[in-house]
Structure 1
Amino acid sequence: MADYLDAARGLVDFTGACPSMFHTTATIRRELDEAGFTYLPETVAWNVCPGGSYYTVRNGSTVIAWVVGAEVGAAVCGVDDAALPYHFQIAAAHGDSPTFKVKSVPEFAGPGEYLRLNVEAYGGMIDYTWLDRPLGLAGRVLVREEGGEEDCAGGRVESRLLAINRPVALIPSLAIHMNREVNKGFAPNRQVDLCPLFSTGALKAGAFNALVAAELGVQPKQVIAHDLFLVSLERPTLWGARADAPEFVSAPKLDDLMCAYTALRAFLASGNSHDISVYCCFDNEEVGSNTKQGAMSTVLADALSRVNASLGFEPEALQRALAASMLVSCDNAHAVHPNHPEFADEGSRPVLNGGLAVKEAANQHYCTDAFSRAAVCAVLDAAGVPHQSFANRSDMAGGSTLGNLSNMQVSMHAVDVGCPQLAMHSSYETAGARDAQLAIDALTAFYNADLRIENSDAFQV
């Protein structure tokens, strides 16, 4: 673990480069391009070959990448019909995080000369952690190219990324003198208490769109629509009492950029000639995943089906492959809280810097079952990689994640894992600095494993 700092620093850099889900996908695409992957848009015919590496993107916010093992091609040339032609080993994370989204009518005027931003919650954030913090903006903007029609009737419109990495807004708290009971409990009203201050009067109505246009170097009339979000400008950092061996990493959006980053690093570092290795980073997990680019959409099923067809296999081969495949759903887990251990299950208390936690829930909000737990733990044990267990207290409702939602469209054996962290869904979250490398080690071991699944009866590593 002497090299854990390299992985932790890489995580810091990755989170800093990903202020929105659109930037996350763009960052991942750059890494894939640099690694020699071929981009296959959904709108063109695909040509996939054994030994090749590819990726596709939907909505600019979900990316799926895959590497076809060299031995997969042998099945195309003819093998015993009883032999499985191939299978998938998939790790999936998500690139979105709870924040506030700017509405299409972006401003409130008043009281007085104030100008405020009109925002609504995206996902289930801890609201008060957004108060009194300088905030930037990031996301995508749909822009009509110069020379197009002034209305929406014609002209070419393209999507552009926008990241304003300087303070342009702030959500101010109400002074304690005006709410003496604030320290006894405060539940912000999102329509009233959480409107960001944008100007005291120097800016007038229309200033938000003018700002967006100026940042993109276009005229305001060229801005057609936007998906823009508030961004905490608190810098990602490694910290701890020992400067030479920091124990902690803190950053916005560790849920789930930490898993998106570690799964990507493992995917790019691994090599498996026996399978088709797949990496997914989905959008919209924090709002239920039921969008065209979410884990519950057809995006993964569509990609795997097209890969199967492009390799020359019949549709039945895909169904056989899925039955022998494994999905590792990667979404951060709750570490035991140092001040509130009573909120953790007595038997399942993951700690920071202890490795990936395998998550389970009887209500199947996590996709882990005995078979998938045994398979992933066998892989990690064989590789000597530490792992932990997570379960909610039996008297507390827990969250859910993308594994079972993805399985509604493309079913296979699946297990939920995550890096333990504190303050999940805060605007600034904390995890163990060593856990980035431990997660990379664990997921690399999974991708490299020659995992042979025999229905639900047995497997071999």
Structure 2
Amino acid sequence: MAKAAEVKKLNRKLMDFLDGSVNAFFAVENMKNILVEEGFLPLYEGEDWKLKKGGKYFVTRNGSALIAFVLPEKSFKGFQMMASHSDSPVFKIKGDPELEIDKAYIQLNVEKYGGMICSPWLDRPLSVAGRVLVKSVKGVETKLVNIDRDLLIIPNLAIHMNREVNDGYKFNAQKDMLPLFSTIEGKGSFKKIVADAISVKEESILDWDLFLYNRQKATILGGKEEFIASGRLDDLQCAFSSLQGILAAKPKESVALHCVYDNEEVGSGTKQGADSSFLKDVLHRILYAFGMGEEEYIKALQNSFLVSADNAHAVHPAHLDKADALNRPYMNKGIVLKYSANQKYTTDAVSAAVFKSFCEKAKVPYQSFANRSDMLGGSTLGNISNSQVALNTVDIGLPQLSMHSPYETAGVEDTYYLVEVAKLFYSSSVLGRGDGNLEIKY
């Protein structure tokens, strides 16, 4: 049993991270600030990299994806990597946002990003955050903006006018999910609110990537305070745990890398997604900085291991039949290894055996997940990353309920479990030749 005080302290830290990470841009900004405080140096893809053995560095792409790494004090043989993602299903504000309704109301014009549960977005305070591109003396400047107040609401239609709402209602994104912004008197004020929040003139704004977010803060709940509830647990709970691991990393024979991609919820096919060259580029540049080339890269991948960390489905207390007959993960019972015969998850016997070894060494429980054989599941980062960087990979996650809701539920002890494994993993090595026989050096 994890120590209660440590578990509580860690989850309070996670709650602060979640509350400040209202979307992918803010999640990466928060990680950057934490890394800088811990002595990590920023790198930029458009500049030369001068790396030192024992150094700690990070690089971002698009402001919404990040890779941090710690170099050993001596020569290295491979890479120990953990990947998660920064984005969550959400509503994105369109470029021309204000819709005048019946000469009485102003709604904001939004579209769906990712596959969300729509109903929990209704009848709760919402606001807007993201990035704004503004004119600058040199050209274009990016500014993060968070309208940190209750600004919007998506009102339900009264049951008297929608008697079928409790019988399985199909929400129309263009009709039912547009947030109410103002009465007609507020027409034309949205852009000004955004401009004022970043202290620029309206005419300085060139474009933006703005998203709605749920204003409800993260909380710990349950009869024994065993659950954590928050927006964006998928996948910031894993990203936070991986971050804690890299901060404690003391690698010996492998480079430790904390990778956080964007756009997982929409297929990862962007320059900052898992299907991009981001990780491959970073690995090559680390090798180039020490005078190594393509052959060393190929050999290094056989001495490397990737943990694809994206939250998993816990058994739902009201829908026991939705889970597999035997592979049934529960919250606070340990890290989940995900299996799929069609390779939507990359876990195989080799990668599972390695990860189980880390769990056992760290004295952390683990569970298994597989979809019912008559139900399709989702996919995640592992198989997509492998199309760019092919190496032994395991798909894992922390069990949670209400996945893709704007307010999700998970277990407090599971955060602790993943942090403990991440600390061990980042300070270890998995060495091999490509024949399935691996040496684990802790």
Q: Above 0.5 in TM-score?
A: yes
Q: Give the SS at the match of 1:168.
A: coil
Aligned to 2:172: 189
Q: Give the SS at the match of 2:247.
A: helix
CA contact (8 A) 1:371 1:456 kept: no
- For structure 2, list consecutive stretches of 5 or more residues without a partner in the other structure: none
- Counterparts of 1:265 and 1:383, CA distance in 2: 15
Q: CA deviation at 1:317?
A: 0.3
CA contact (8 A) 2:306 2:391 kept: yes
Q: CA deviation at 1:207?
A: 1.6
Are 1:130 and 2:121 counterparts? yes
Aligned to 2:134: 143
Aligned pair partner of 1:4 in 1, 7, 14: 7
Aligned pair partner of 2:32 in 26, 29, 34: 29
- Counterparts of 1:186 and 1:234, CA distance in 2: 25
Q: CA deviation at 1:24?
A: 0.6
Aligned to 1:241: 223
Q: Which moved more, 1:403-412 or 1:248-257?
A: 403-412
Q: Give the SS at the match of 1:374.
A: helix
Counterpart residue identity of residue 97, structure 1: S
- Counterparts of 2:326 and 2:287, CA distance in 1: 43
Query: C-alpha deviations, 1:6-62, integer Å up to 9, x for none?
Result: 111111111011001000110000111011111111110001121111111110111
- Counterparts of 1:266 and 1:347, CA distance in 2: 31
- Counterparts of 1:28 and 1:263, CA distance in 2: 11
Q: CA deviation at 1:129?
A: 1.0
Are 1:360 and 2:345 counterparts? no
Aligned to 1:209: 191
Are 1:226 and 2:208 counterparts? yes
Aligned to 1:81: none
Q: CA deviation at 1:165?
A: 2.1
Aligned pair partner of 1:261 in 240, 244, 250: 240
Q: CA deviation at 1:325?
A: 0.9
User: Normalising by structure 2, what TM-score?
Assistant: 0.97
What is the 5 A alignment of 1:18-167?
A: 18-72=21-75, 86-145=77-136, 156-167=139-150
Query: C-alpha deviations, 1:313-366, integer Å up to 9, x for none?
Result: 122101110122100000000000011111001111111101110111111111
CA contact (8 A) 1:368 1:415 kept: yes
Are 1:425 and 2:416 counterparts? no
CA contact (8 A) 1:309 1:315 kept: no
- Counterparts of 2:167 and 2:302, CA distance in 1: 53
| Percentage of identical aligned residues | 45
Runs of 4+ aligned residues of structure 1 deviating over 3 Å after TM superposition are none
Counterpart residue identity of residue 438, structure 1: Y
Counterpart residue identity of residue 236, structure 1: A
- For structure 1, list consecutive stretches of 5 or more residues without a partner in the other structure: 73-84, 149-154
- Counterparts of 2:245 and 2:109, CA distance in 1: 40
CA contact (8 A) 2:80 2:429 kept: no
- Counterparts of 1:184 and 1:55, CA distance in 2: 50
